[in-house]
Amino acid sequence: MTDRPLVEVSNLSVRYGDSDVLQGVDLQVAPNEIVTLVGPNGSGKSTLIGAILGGVRPSEGRVTRRPDLRIGYVPQRLVLDPTLPMTVARFLSLPRRVPRDRVHDALERAGVPGIADRQMSVLSGGQFQRALLARALLSTPDLLILDEATAGLDQPGSAAFYERIEQVRADTGCAVLMVSHDLHVVMSASDRVICLNGHVCCEGTPEVVAAAPDYRRLFGAGTRGTLALYRHDHDHTHFHDDAHTHGPGCAHHHGTERGATE
């Protein structure tokens, strides 16, 4: 029962007009694991998150959430209309009222104590993202979903942010599903990495994905330096559906099995 996935995506396809954004995607998130989605721009990462949240309608396949699943969501960007006045404390009480001491507690845990009475509009990028995180944590989520939550942060800032996420997982036992461009940090913080390019290109532990040819083709030479940090320890199997299509950067050939000991 405890191993029942929090979210199960099976054979998910999403089509916008004539273009397939996602094709035959399978994904599971188990309790207490940190799963990271990587992939180039336009690879459907945010669409997949949208489908899991329920805002994007699948054209095929299905998304199953565990009943009563509590989701904490940190969006990539939140643009507050300048006409909307909002203190940090009020924001943390949306949609459910939260006692003042829990607000302070959540801000402290997110690493930004003492900003409760400030307007959201005057926060720095890092403070804003942490306020979003604090709000997501207040719902005591089973699953924390972060959609490029560190997009506007510098490298030390985002490293600190992900450290905070790992700490939160350790403290609360929630699972984390995150989308990230920040390959360095992703690799160290995740239990499992899923490389997406309209379909699941490859998945596995960070080491496995870093070494997978598909991943290297997608992210190119720029990431070699980072990837060299990981040993090429290939012991996973990798099956492909022959019907899928590839983006321009994804030039892999279809083998029956990929990544077996080279």
Partner 1 sequence: MILDDFMTRAALAGIGTALAAAPLGCFVVWRRMAYFGDATAHAAILGVALSLAMSLPVFAGALVVALVMATAVTLISGRGYAMDTLLGVMAHSALAFGLVGVSFLGGVRIDLMAYLFGDILSVSRADLAVIWGGAALVLGLIGWRWSALLTSTLNPDLARAAGIDPKREQLVLTLALAVVVAVAIKVVGVLLITALLIIPAATVRPFATTPERMGALAALVAMASAWAGLRASYALDTPTGPTIVCVAALLFGLSTVASGLQRAR
The residue ranges that bind partner 1 (CB under 8 A) are: 49-50, 53-55, 71-73, 75, 78, 80-81, 83-87, 90-91, 94-97, 119, 136, 139, 145
CA distance between the termini of the chain: 38
Question: Taking the complex as a whole, how short is the minimal distance between the CB of residue 18 and partner 1, in angstroms?
Answer: 13
At which residue do the structure tokens 């997406």 appear? 196
Q: Which is nearer to partner 1, 53 or 151 (CB)?
A: 53
Give the C-alpha separation, 204 to 172, whole Å.
24
Shortest distance (Å) from residue 52 CB to partner 1: 9
Specify the residue, 21 or 71, whose C-beta has the smaller distance to partner 1: 71
Q: Which is nearer to partner 1, 138 or 201 (CB)?
A: 138
Shortest reach from residue 89's CB to partner 1, in Å:
9
In the complex, the smallest distance separating the C-beta of residue 66 from partner 1, rounded to whole angstroms, is 13
**19 strand-pairing partners:** 16
Give Cα separations from 227 to 134, 224, 232 (angstroms): 32, 5, 9
Q: Minimum distance between the CB of residue 53 and partner 1, rounded to whole angstroms?
A: 5
Q: Which is nearer to partner 1, 139 or 223 (CB)?
A: 139
Contact 169, 176 (CB under 8 A): yes
If the CB atoms of residues 118 and 244 are measured against partner 1, the closer one turns out to be 118
Edge-first strand order for the sheet with 192-196 is: 71-74, 143-147, 175-179, 34-38, 192-196, 200-204
CB of residue 246 vs partner 1: minimum separation in angstroms?
A: 27
Residues whose CB falls within 8 Å of the CB of residue 105, separated by 6 or more in sequence, listed in order:
none
Query: HEC states along 137-172?
Result: HHCCCCEEEEECCCCCCCHHHHHHHHHHHHHHHHHH
Q: Angle at CA 150, nearest 5°, toward 25 and 222?
A: 75
Residue with Cβ nearer partner 1 (83 or 261) = 83
